[in-house]
Amino acid sequence: MSDDIILLAHGSGGGLSQELIRRAFVSHFDNQILSRLEDASVFAAEGSRLAFTTDSYVVKPLFFPGGDIGRLSVCGTVNDLSMMGATPLYLSAGFILEEGLRLDDLERIVMSMSKAAAEAGVKIICGDTKVVEKKAADGIFINTAGIGFVRDDLHISIVNSRPSDVVLVSGTIGDHGITIMSQREGLQFQSDMTSDAAPLNHLVRDMLGATNQIHTMRDPTRGGLATTLNEIAVSSGVGVEVEEDQIPVLEGVAWACEMLGLDPLYLANEGKLVATVAEADSDRVLAAMRGNVLGARATVIGRITEDHPGRVVIKNSFGAKRILSVLAGDQFPRIC
C-alpha cells in the first residue's frame, strides 16, 4: 500500500512526488517561503533579495554522453536559481561516497563540476564528504545547494502566468532523459544522442536583458515538459494550450522514444527552460534566446488561456485536442 512505504514513484517528479512533498515536508516545515514550491526560494536579507535552492543527484550511470553526475549537479542548481531570475553566485557540494569508489572516477567527477562551475561563472565555496560501507550507497551521490541574487524589478514565479502570455521553450525536448534511458538499457542508436546538461544562467541573463516581464520560468527536469506545464496551469490557476507540432524534438530522440515506448514530453531535460512571457514582449525575448547558443532552437509552443484553468491541452497537427496530464507512475528513477 503506497501510504506506508516509499516507492520509486515517489521520486519520479510526478503526482506521487508532489503528494509526498505536501504530506511529509510542506506540512511539517510550515513556512510561507517553502510552501511556494518554486525552483529556488527567494527571500529578503539586509536589503538584498537572495535566492536559495538545493538538489541531490543520484543519476545512474554516473557517466553518460554529454555529461556526468558532476556536471549535472552544478548545472541543475545553477538552473534552479536562474529560473527565479537570480544570478547564481555560490554553490555548496556535499558528497556521499560508497566505500570502494575509484578515486580516479571521483576526480573525473570533481573536475567536471569545476568545469561546469567555470562555464556558469559560479564558485563552489563549501563542501562535505561522507563515506558509507559497500552497498549502503551506489557509487556517489552529490548534493549541491546554491545562492544567487535577484534584481528588485523581477517577479518571476510559478503563480504569475497570466492569460494571453506566450509559452516559450528554449530548445529540443527529451535529450537528457532518452540518453540516460538508452545507456541504462544498453541500447545503441545510430544517432548520437547526448544529454543537454548545461548552465542556463547566461541565456536567462540575455532574456532578462530583453524584458523584465517574464512571468514564469522553470526547467523541465524530472517529469519533463508535460509536468512543468501542468505545474504552471495549477499554480497560476490558468489554462495552458500547446501545439504538439511546435514542440522541438530531435529526430533521433523521437525515434528512440518510439523504440522504447516513451513520450518525450515526459522525459527530463537538464539544459532547457520553459518561460511564459507577456505577449507584447515575447518577440524580443525569443530573439534574445535565439541569440544565445543554448537558445538557438527556441520557439513559441503555445499560450496561456482563461479557459480550462488548471489543465494543459495539447493540439495535434489535425487540430484534435487532448488533455496532457502529469506523470503518474515510476517510469524514470534516477534520471538526475
Give the per-residue contact string, 149-188, with a copy of itself (x = CB under 8 A; - = no): x---------------------------------------
Work out which of 63, 90, 189, 255 binds a copy of itself, going by CB under 8 A: 90
**What is the residue type of 199?**
P
Which of these, 326, 230, 234, 322, lies nearest to 9 by C-alpha position? 326
The yes or no reply on residue 54 touching a copy of itself (CB under 8 A) is yes
C-alpha cell at 304: 496561456
> Which 102-121 positions form the footprint of a copy of itself (CB under 8 A)?
102-104, 106-107, 110-111, 113-114, 117
Smallest distance, a copy of itself to C-beta of residue 205, A: 18
- Residue 125's Cα: distance from chain center in Å? 23
C-alpha cell at 170: 528554449
DSSP bridge partners of 98 = 132
Work out which of 31, 188, 190, 317 binds a copy of itself, going by CB under 8 A: 31
Which of these, 218, 270, 205, lies nearest to 70 by C-alpha position? 270
Smallest distance, a copy of itself to C-beta of residue 57, A: 8
Choice between 50 and 265, CB closer to a copy of itself = 50
The yes or no reply on residue 259 touching a copy of itself (CB under 8 A) is no
Smallest distance, a copy of itself to C-beta of residue 203, A: 22
Choice between 54 and 325, CB closer to a copy of itself = 54
Choice between 94 and 309, CB closer to a copy of itself = 94
The yes or no reply on residue 64 touching a copy of itself (CB under 8 A) is no
Smallest distance, a copy of itself to C-beta of residue 136, A: 4
Which of these, 148, 87, 78, lies nearest to 113 by C-alpha position? 78
The yes or no reply on residue 58 touching a copy of itself (CB under 8 A) is yes
- Do 265 and 242 meet the contact criterion of CB atoms below 8 Å apart? no
Secondary structure in 3-state letters for 236-279: HCCEEEEEHHHCCCCHHHHHHHHHHCCCHHHCCCCCCCEEEECH
Which of these, 38, 57, 41, 39, lies nearest to 49 by C-alpha position? 41
DSSP bridge partners of 92 = 126, 145
- Do 198 and 115 meet the contact criterion of CB atoms below 8 Å apart? no
Rounded Cα distance between 261 and 267, Å, is 12
The yes or no reply on residue 86 touching a copy of itself (CB under 8 A) is no
Smallest distance, a copy of itself to C-beta of residue 100, A: 5
Smallest distance, a copy of itself to C-beta of residue 89, A: 7
The yes or no reply on residue 46 touching a copy of itself (CB under 8 A) is yes
The yes or no reply on residue 197 touching a copy of itself (CB under 8 A) is no
Smallest distance, a copy of itself to C-beta of residue 146, A: 9
Considering only the stretches 39-47, 191-199, 277-285, 308-316, report the one whose residues sit in contact with a copy of itself under the rule CB under 8 A.
39-47
Give the per-residue contact string, 126-145, with a copy of itself (x = CB under 8 A; - = no): xxxxxxxx-xxxx--x-x-x
Choice between 106 and 254, CB closer to a copy of itself = 106
Smallest distance, a copy of itself to C-beta of residue 269, A: 17
Instruction: Name 330's Cβ contacts closer than 8 Å, sequence gap at least 6.
Output: 7, 8, 9, 11, 12, 16
Cβ atoms within 10 A of the Cβ of 218, count? 24
The yes or no reply on residue 82 touching a copy of itself (CB under 8 A) is no
DSSP string, 58-79: --SSSEETTEEHHHHHHHHHHH
> Which 315-334 positions form the footprint of a copy of itself (CB under 8 A)?
333-334
Choice between 135 and 251, CB closer to a copy of itself = 135
